[in-house]
Amino acid sequence: MTEDIHPLLLCGGSGTRLWPLSRKSYPKQFTKLTGEESLFQASARRLSGDGYAAPTIITGSDYRFVVTEQLAGVEIAAGATLIEPEGRNTAPAILAGALDLQARAPGALMLVAPSDHVIPDAQAFRDAVQAAVPAARAGQLVTFGIRPDRAETGYGWLRLSAAPEADFTPVPQPLKGFVEKPDAETAEALLADGMHLWNAGIFLFSTEAILAAFETYQPAMLAAVRRAHAAAERDLHFLRLDPEAWAACESESIDYAVMEKADNLTVVPYGGAWSDLGGWDAVWRESGPDVAGIVTSGPATAIDCADTLLRAEDSQQALVGIGLSDVIAVAMPDAVLVAHRSRAQDVKKAVEALKARGMKQAETLPRDYRPWGWFESLATGGRFQVKRIHVHPGAALSLQSHHHRSEHWIVVEGTAKVTIDDAVKLISENESVYIPLGAVHRMENPGKVPMVLIEVQTGSYLGEDDIIRYEDVYARGQGAKG
């Protein structure tokens, strides 16, 4: 019987290089960039099935219900979901996952993978993972190197001790070293010599081997994460790591913290297609440009263009490019990016500039995702706001009240179960209900189909933090999102 491999999916990044589609409020791993599934869903599915245990997820508090909902969408249940109090890079995250898995399955093999990669041939990748199992079981820290097809400066590289097989059979070999993200000239040399692969940031090792490495090279980090895990609190089906202990961790990558120091490193070459979708240029490449190099998505039209990506995200938009060459244009309802394709890696500068100006578009999407569904603002004025609210079947908003606003709800799809103080009633399509300022109220969807309503808010303050929660099935506490 094949030994189960335990995936650890890293799910905390903000993906600023794919702004405006990917933002801190809903980063790229949860978006459908190249297919009908999100990158996170595709990653979870790729690392499931025969030979794989239920995945461990490590993510941030704001994404915990998105993770749960998206896993349910591909019929996968997490073995554990750990909540980072704050992002501290990959080393503490991987260490927390290893400690949690060691407690549940001592000595298990753990496959660490970012949740935002594209690997079209899932079976070929699983074959590479199986090829790495003997080395990992023997105490090696195994990393996976990707066959390079260009002189990429956006990735770190791995230095081999022997040339890979001509057909890139995944044969493990000792890793000679790491190369930081190179300049263009160095990248050309690395590509030409045939002795270097891209560093995918994917690892396989036993919990015992990685914990021993942290004991040797990062004892302070190990102590801090042990405390954070030991003092973690259970929250529904999530495990919240202790914030005070977590804050004592250095923010470091796993490569810098451990891998570049260790002497028990093995690399497995992987010859299949792979991308981390680290910028819009990568999305253009992975989307299969036509003979003119054109990629369009949504209601976008290209006229006499070349090597250009046009992407419109709203069905009410019409994005048209005329005579463009080497251009990326991405239109969202609240923000538009236009950039030269060679400057795709500089998109994060736009995010920084918008943040400096205090613009919400830097980090927040128009659509706000919550555990019960989502809402989006349709119109805003000085003392009013109009929202569209989508509630999943069987879901319920918290029992709440507001200090500064009253609300008028009009159901346009499905049926709403509405509580206002002591009264409970069902509201069907084309019916409405008024929520006076200060009234304790709740909205639920008792049906089997999504419920959609239009909410009209009026009042002196319309911020999301004007919520007092009395009961909440999602245990969110107080605050805008809890």
* DSSP class of 272: S
**Tens digit of pLDDT for each residue in 411-455?**
999 999 999 999 999 999 999 999 999 999 999 999 999 999 999
Q: What is the DSSP string of 174-209?
A: EEEEEEPSP-HHHHHHHHHHS-EEEEEEEEEEEHHH
- Mean pLDDT, rounded, of the chain: 93
Residue 376: count other Cβ atoms within 10 Å of its Cβ.
14
**Tens digit of pLDDT for each residue in 301-336?**
999 999 999 999 999 999 999 999 999 999 999 999
Q: Is residue 476 pLDDT above 90, yes or no?
A: no
* Residue 478: predicted pLDDT: 66
Enter the pTM of the model.
0.88
pLDDT-derived band at 462 (thresholds 50, 70, 90) equals confident
* Residue 236: predicted pLDDT: 81
Please compute the mean of the pLDDT values over residues 387-410 and round it to a whole number.
Answer: 94
The residues pairing with 118 across neighbouring beta strands, listed in sequence order, are 275
Please compute the mean of the pLDDT values over residues 218-231 and round it to a whole number.
Answer: 97
Taking the domains of the chain in order of start, what are their residue ranges? 5-270, 280-356, 367-471
Please compute the mean of the pLDDT values over residues 247-255 and round it to a whole number.
Answer: 93
Q: Is residue 25 pLDDT above 70, yes or no?
A: yes
63 against 1, higher pLDDT:
63
* Residue 278: predicted pLDDT: 87
Give the relative orientation of helices 207-217 and 90-104 as an angle to the nearest 10 degrees: 130
* Residue 33: predicted pLDDT: 86
* Residue 481: predicted pLDDT: 59
Please compute the mean of the pLDDT values over residues 58-79 and round it to a whole number.
Answer: 92
Question: Tokens standing for 194?
Answer: 């045939």
Topology adopted by domain 367-471:
Jelly Rolls (2.60.120)
Q: Measuring CA to CA, which residue among 34, 33, 82 is closest to residue 56?
A: 82
Computed over its alpha carbons, how large is the radius of gyration of the chain? 24
Please compute the mean of the pLDDT values over residues 377-384 and round it to a whole number.
Answer: 90
pLDDT-derived band at 464 (thresholds 50, 70, 90) equals confident
The residues pairing with 114 across neighbouring beta strands, listed in sequence order, are 10
Q: Measuring CA to CA, which residue among 122, 137, 286, 120 is closest to residue 209?
A: 137
Q: Is residue 479 pLDDT above 60, yes or no?
A: no
CATH architecture classification, 5-270: Alpha-Beta Complex (3.90)
The residues pairing with 426 across neighbouring beta strands, listed in sequence order, are 417
* Residue 1: predicted pLDDT: 35
* Residue 91: predicted pLDDT: 96
Cα–Cα distance, 457 to 435 (Å, whole number): 9
Q: Are strands 196-206 and 265-270 parallel, antiparallel or unpaired?
A: unpaired
pLDDT-derived band at 3 (thresholds 50, 70, 90) equals low
Beta strands in 333-437 (DSSP E): 336-340, 367-370, 373-380, 384-391, 399-401, 405-413, 416-420, 423-427, 432-435
